[in-house]
Amino acid sequence: MNQTQEVGYVQSSRDFLVYLDGLPSIKINDLVENEQGLRGWISALLKNQVEVLMVDSGKVTPGQMFKRLPARLSINVGDYLLGRAVNPLGIAIDGKGPLTRSKTTNLMELEQVALGIRSRQFIKEQFTTGVSLIDCLIPLGKGQRELVMGDAHSGKTGFLIDLIVNQSKLNRTSNKPKKTICIYASIGKPAASVRNLIDVLRANKALEYSVVIAASSSEPAPMIFLTPKAAFSVAEFFQRNGHDVLLILDDLGTHAKIYREMSLLGFKSPGRESYPGDIFYQHAHLMERAGSFKAGFGGASITALPVIELDLNDFTTLIPTSLMSMTDGHLLFKSSLRNQGLQPAIDIFLSVSRVGRQTQDRLTNSISARIRSTLTQAEELQTVSSFSAELPIQTQLILRQKRLLDEILKQDPLTYIPKEVQVIMLSLVYTSFLKDKDHSFMEKYKNNLINAFLTNPTFNNITKSFYTFKSDQQLINALEAETAKLNELCPS
């Protein structure tokens, strides 16, 4: 047994940045620990020194000895993570006791090279969210990276929580052996909001298939910086075991700021907006780890939803534009829409999903094309309508359809609507049942209609035979046939 151990002595230290000498054969991402047990990881190898970023907060003085640890920067992964909240190094932070280590504990390195093209497959399956606006108009695919951006208080976090809760509902009702796992990475958020999130998830019984990886804003910057890497490593573990994974990174703007802080402290040259030159790499190499993988590489998929908060007056700053270019689409949240009562407050015209369309079935695709054209026409006619008192009938119809569609697309938080019912509800706008009805009618009867299409045997057959319809016109005709019964159900 080799009895020598590599050590290094502190030459200089600056907050969480420590420079050591010695450590002759150390590599980047190895771990070192000092006599007080404070750990750090090697971030750079300079000519005569080694740069270490401390993950534990404590006083580091020159002359202290740091020993090299046998471990590299990694996290323990396993099924025991489900339902728990951990920090990026794998220590439990939810107060439910230490993580039970089963025999099949794996150590996943935080820094992984993303799998290459050979391992990827075409994104064919839709990622069902249970939110009408997303599933019909801006569909997501399994393995897609979709940027969630918006200004403050526009309902992004609420929407993301809805996604997690709906996935857990889907998990409970489906009989697939491998469930969808949700991983929420909280990057530099206050400890109270992390606590809040865990409580909300527990109250909605969504923790069973979720993992929370959090570094609160009081942790040292390197710890916060490691959070997305840890989240991706955990996601990759589950993906390699055949589970589909939903990974939410909230938010990457804070991550970029933390990285800027670390780089400026380390005297790296600042670039645009004082961010270091490799900020794009830091985000891009993370995003590349998501995707849809072939069976030989675990099958399944990792769907990544990075979040960024921005100023809507100017979203041409560096980080949002970089993120937009490295993701497969974005969802734009506006607080103004939220104040008008639209929830989720997504601007349909400014949001895009580049990969989602190929995953939608033909019927939903044609309905969504119809809806989009109606909404576009209504936008154009909106200005006209404010001028003229007496509008032609066609214009009135389109405007009324738009208001009905808006009303149907509104969805209360923590509600789940199956995809078939979503499309049926949206198709109702094009039937004679809603031809003369106003959006207040829809406001009154929306829930009744949704319940009817879910449970009422008279209407249930349409829902059950949803996939037999070959075109949107067929579906509309089928709904026309039920107009009388619908009128009975909803007396005006």
6 binds other proteins (CB under 8 A): yes
22 binds other proteins (CB under 8 A): yes
> Per the structure block, which two tokens stand in for 362?
């033909």
> Per the structure block, which two tokens stand in for 19?
């420079």
Q: How far is the CB of 173 from other proteins (least distance, A)?
A: 43
What single letter denotes the amino acid at residue 145? R
Q: How far is the CB of 247 from other proteins (least distance, A)?
A: 39
Q: Given the complex with other proteins, which of 24 and 270 has the nearer CB atom? A: 24
Q: How far is the CB of 78 from other proteins (least distance, A)?
A: 24
5 binds other proteins (CB under 8 A): yes
Q: Are 109 and 293 in contact (CB under 8 A)?
A: no
Q: Which of 3, 316, 383, 386 binds other proteins (CB under 8 A)?
A: 3
- Burial (CB count within 10 angstroms: exposed 0-12, middle 13-18, buried 19+), residue 67: middle
354 noted as active-site residue: yes
Query: Is the sign of the CA dihedral 255, 215, 54, 52 positive or negative?
Result: negative
Which region among 18-26, 134-142, 188-196, 233-241 touches other proteins (by CB under 8 A)? 18-26
Q: Are 417 and 132 in contact (CB under 8 A)?
A: yes
Q: Given the complex with other proteins, which of 64 and 217 has the nearer CB atom? A: 64
Which region among 16-24, 182-190, 301-309, 398-406 touches other proteins (by CB under 8 A)? 16-24
Q: Given the complex with other proteins, which of 20 and 345 has the nearer CB atom? A: 20
Give dist(CA 280, CA 35) in Å, integer: 36
Q: Given the complex with other proteins, which of 7 and 414 has the nearer CB atom? A: 7
173 binds other proteins (CB under 8 A): no
Which region among 19-27, 111-119, 197-205, 366-374 touches other proteins (by CB under 8 A)? 19-27
Give dist(CA 103, CA 226) in Å, integer: 26
Q: Given the complex with other proteins, which of 66 and 275 has the nearer CB atom? A: 66
Q: How far is the CB of 89 from other proteins (least distance, A)?
A: 25
Which region among 2-10, 323-331, 397-405, 468-476 touches other proteins (by CB under 8 A)? 2-10
Give dist(CA 332, CA 350) in Å, integer: 7
Q: Which of 10, 17, 18, 23 binds other proteins (CB under 8 A)?
A: 23
**Gyration radius (Cα) of the chain, Å:** 26
Which residues from 33-72 bind other proteins, rule CB under 8 A?
65, 67
Q: Are 20 and 32 in contact (CB under 8 A)?
A: yes
Q: How far is the CB of 23 from other proteins (least distance, A)?
A: 5
Q: How far is the CB of 51 from other proteins (least distance, A)?
A: 15
Q: Given the complex with other proteins, which of 3 and 175 has the nearer CB atom? A: 3
Give dist(CA 139, CA 137) in Å, integer: 6
28 binds other proteins (CB under 8 A): no
Q: Tell me which residue has tokens 């469930």.
A: 179
Which region among 6-14, 181-189, 231-239, 476-484 touches other proteins (by CB under 8 A)? 6-14
Comparing C-alpha atoms, which of 219, 260, 281, 266 is closest to residue 44?
A: 266
- Helical H segments across 114-267, by residue range: 132, 156-173, 191-203, 221-240, 252-265
What single letter denotes the amino acid at residue 167? Q
- Burial (CB count within 10 angstroms: exposed 0-12, middle 13-18, buried 19+), residue 148: buried
Query: Is the sign of the CA dihedral 464, 467, 468, 471 positive or negative?
Result: positive
Q: Coil, helix or strand for 160?
A: helix
Q: How far is the CB of 25 from other proteins (least distance, A)?
A: 8
Catalytic-labelled residue, pool 120, 240, 354, 403: 354
- Helical H segments across 47-190, by residue range: 132, 156-173
Size of the site for other proteins (CB under 8 A): 13
Q: Which of 15, 21, 311, 379 binds other proteins (CB under 8 A)?
A: 21
Return the exposure string of 359-372: e unless at least 16 CB atoms fall within 10 Å of the residue's CB, then b: bbeebbbbbbebbe
Q: Tell me which residue has tokens 């403050």.
A: 152
x/- string (CB under 8 A) for other proteins, residues 211-250? ----------------------------------------
Q: How far is the CB of 266 from other proteins (least distance, A)?
A: 22
Q: How far is the CB of 35 from other proteins (least distance, A)?
A: 10
Q: Given the complex with other proteins, which of 10 and 286 has the nearer CB atom? A: 10
Q: Which of 24, 58, 62, 413 binds other proteins (CB under 8 A)?
A: 24
**Which residues, in sequence order, are CB contacts of 293 under 8 Å at separation 6+?**
115, 119, 120, 121, 143, 239, 299, 300, 301
Give dist(CA 377, CA 152) in Å, integer: 30
Which region among 7-15, 114-122, 385-393, 473-481 touches other proteins (by CB under 8 A)? 7-15
9 binds other proteins (CB under 8 A): yes
Comparing C-alpha atoms, which of 247, 322, 252, 249 is closest to residue 281?
A: 322
Kindly state the helix (H) or strand (E) to which residue 443 belongs, with its residue range.
Answer: helix 439-455
Which region among 20-28, 72-80, 232-240, 352-360 touches other proteins (by CB under 8 A)? 20-28
x/- string (CB under 8 A) for other proteins, residues 273-302? ------------------------------
Q: How far is the CB of 33 from other proteins (least distance, A)?
A: 13
Q: Which residues are at the interface with other proteins (CB under 8 A)?
A: 3-9, 21-24, 65, 67
The residues annotated as belonging to the active site are: 354
